[in-house]
């Protein structure tokens, strides 16, 4: 979340910058400033009362030693009044602090200067494109028909076992899925990311730490009995490994990668555009997460973008990179790049990765800091990206690599699959 000092000192800038998101922040920003002023004034009053109470306690001790019990008794009555006052002020301080926190939770991150203004995905900026769109044979099919033809993904069986959006991968489909996971992990570790295995459920504090809570859109699956949440992305448990942590400057950057299944309710997602693998409630994804010094974070973001470009080039998939406009960017991000793969059979672009710099927004929630060379604790910058989300990568591979004889496996995946064709 945004820091109160930053909001107080840059009120007009925050309001104007959040306007890029088409978020009317003026009333909420003023509420935050007013609550912060009340919190600070209450803290000053409480500190004054506690200081006076401590001073009187010392005076009582001195009077008792001097044998002046009557004077000591009178002062005790005054200290009792101070204790009652401090109790009242503490209650006010706790209430105001909680109200301030809840107000801050409602404010999204301030977009970076390079973020274009805009309302929706139509206003995103294409900044790069690579790869040739293949020409398919006359009987080419979308991936959901290919999956049925070659018996590699069973959507109906998944619907029977759980419900729509929970496919069953079978035979070479399951092996191709596993091959992609191992390929992405190997490439990430070769690039310096430390592989971790993390829980697939997180507690409420973790959800708040990375900004998934409060869940304004109802996208997270909640296990009510245990008050735990199924993760929507590995970003949540991996980044929360550093909650309430002070990292030494020499340990930066911290780079992690993790494979997890991801769970999203995707409420309100209907229609032909979400058919097959295009939109799922459970899917596999390999994630990269970085903790950086602020001055290095945007160079790190560029490096993450280049890393994902390399993966897509090796897979031979045509892709483009978009810089998201303010209205299409996630709540916690300061800058986001989306990668999209072209699905020739569907004749449309499919999002397969988002790479974001959150600057200090998550770190402030997480209390994730680093100790600089002068020994001062500073908020770190956090970044994350998909490298990659499997469903639409798999859809792109099945559709773009189909031939009349079957589906060709990209060369880089053959050591992982053990086969070069699905037929």
pLDDT digit string (tens) for the chain, length 423 residues: 999 999 999 999 999 999 999 999 999 999 999 999 999 999 999 999 988 887 877 777 776 766 776 676 676 777 778 788 989 999 999 999 999 999 999 999 999 999 999 999 999 999 999 999 988 888 899 999 999 999 999 999 999 999 999 999 999 999 999 999 999 999 999 999 999 999 999 999 999 999 999 988 889 999 999 999 999 999 999 999 999 999 999 999 999 999 999 999 986 555 556 789 999 999 999 999 999 999 999 999 999 999 999 999 999 999 999 999 999 999 999 999 999 999 988 999 999 999 999 999 999 999 999 999 999 999 999 999 999 999 999 999 999 999 999 999 999 999 999 999 999
Quote the number of domains for the chain. 2
Do residues 145 and 61 both lie within one domain? no
- Domain stop point among 105, 139, 174: 105
Question: What is d(CA 326, CA 342) in angstroms, rounded to the nearest whole number?
Answer: 24
Q: Find the DSSP H helices in 211-265.
A: 235-240
- Domain stop point among 79, 105, 131: 105
CA 345 to chain centre: 31
Within-domain flag for 113: no
Do residues 300 and 369 both lie within one domain? yes
Do residues 44 and 150 both lie within one domain? no
Q: Sign of the C-alpha dihedral, residues 301, 265, 362, 32?
A: positive
Do residues 274 and 245 both lie within one domain? yes
- 153-162 pLDDT, tens digit each: 999 999 999 9
Classify residue 70 by burial, with Cβ atoms within 10 Å: 0-12, 13-18, 19+.
Answer: exposed
pLDDT of residue 293: 98
How distant, in Å, are the alpha carbons of 147, 160, 416 from that of 156? 11, 6, 28
Q: Find the largest Cα–Cα distance for the chain.
A: 106
Within-domain flag for 198: yes
Within-domain flag for 115: no
Question: ∠293-294-300 over CA atoms, to 5°?
Answer: 75
Do residues 97 and 137 both lie within one domain? no
Within-domain flag for 33: yes
Do residues 93 and 212 both lie within one domain? no
Within-domain flag for 112: no
| Residue 289 burial (CB count, 10 A) | 27
Q: Sign of the C-alpha dihedral, residues 346, 349, 355, 358?
A: negative
Do residues 351 and 278 both lie within one domain? yes
Do residues 209 and 101 both lie within one domain? no
Q: Which domain holds residue 342?
A: 121-422
Do residues 310 and 358 both lie within one domain? yes
Do residues 324 and 396 both lie within one domain? yes
- Domain stop point among 81, 105, 129: 105
Do residues 400 and 291 both lie within one domain? yes
Within-domain flag for 403: yes
Residues making up the chain, counted from first to last: 423
CATH of the domain at 268: 3.30.930.10
Do residues 50 and 148 both lie within one domain? no
Share of the chain above pLDDT 90, in %: 85
CATH of the domain at 18: 1.10.287.40
Q: DSSP for 56-74, please give it.
A: HHHHHHHHHHTT-HHHHHH
Within-domain flag for 194: yes
Question: What is d(CA 197, CA 173) in angstroms, rounded to the nearest whole number?
Answer: 23
Within-domain flag for 220: yes
């Amino acid at each position: 979340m945004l820091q109160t000092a930053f909001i107080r000192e840059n009120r007009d800038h925050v309001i104007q910058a959040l306007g890029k998101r088409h978020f009317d922040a003026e009333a909420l920003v003023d509420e935050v400033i007013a609550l912060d002023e009340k919190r600070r004034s209450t803290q000053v009053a409480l500190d004054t009362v506690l200081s006076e109470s401590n001073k009187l306690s010392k005076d009582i001790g001195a009077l008792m030693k001097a044998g002046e019990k009557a004077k000591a008794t009178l002062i005790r009555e005054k200290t009792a009044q101070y204790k009652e006052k401090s109790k009242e002020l503490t209650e006010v301080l706790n209430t105001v602090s909680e109200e301030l926190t809840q107000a801050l939770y409602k404010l999204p991150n301030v977009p970076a200067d390079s973020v274009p203004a805009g309302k929706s995905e139509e206003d995103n900026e294409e900044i790069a494109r690579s790869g040739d769109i293949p020409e398919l044979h006359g009987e080419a099919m979308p991936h959901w028909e290919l999956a049925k033809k070659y018996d590699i993904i069973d959507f109906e069986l998944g619907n029977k076992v759980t419900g729509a959006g929970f496919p069953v991968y079978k035979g070479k489909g399951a092996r191709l899925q596993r091959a992609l996971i191992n390929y992405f992990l190997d490439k990430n570790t070769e690039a310096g990311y430390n592989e971790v295995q993390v829980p697939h459920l997180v507690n409420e504090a973790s959800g708040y730490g990375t900004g998934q809570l409060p869940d304004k859109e109802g996208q997270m699956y909640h296990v009510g009995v245990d008050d735990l949440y199924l993760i929507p992305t590995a970003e949540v448990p991996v980044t929360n490994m550093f909650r309430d942590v002070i990292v030494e400057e020499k340990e930066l950057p911290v780079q992690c990668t993790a494979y997890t299944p991801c769970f999203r309710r995707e409420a309100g997602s209907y229609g032909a555009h979400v058919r097959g693998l295009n939109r799922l409630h459970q899917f596999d994804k390999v994630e990269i997460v970085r903790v950086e010094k602020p001055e290095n974070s945007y160079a790190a973001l560029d490096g993450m973008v280049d890393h994902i470009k390399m993966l897509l080039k090796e897979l031979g998939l045509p892709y483009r990179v978009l810089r998201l406009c303010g209205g299409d960017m996630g709540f916690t991000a300061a800058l986001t790049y989306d990668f999209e793969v072209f699905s020739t059979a569907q004749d449309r672009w499919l999002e397969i990765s988002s790479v974001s710099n959150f600057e200090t927004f998550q770190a402030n929630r997480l209390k994730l800091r680093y100790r600089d060379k002068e020994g001062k604790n500073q908020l770190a910058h956090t970044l994350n990206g998909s490298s990659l989300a499997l469903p639409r990568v798999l859809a792109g591979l099945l559709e773009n690599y189909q031939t009349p004889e079957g589906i060709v496996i990209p060369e880089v995946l053959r050591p992982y699959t053990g086969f070069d064709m699905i037929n």
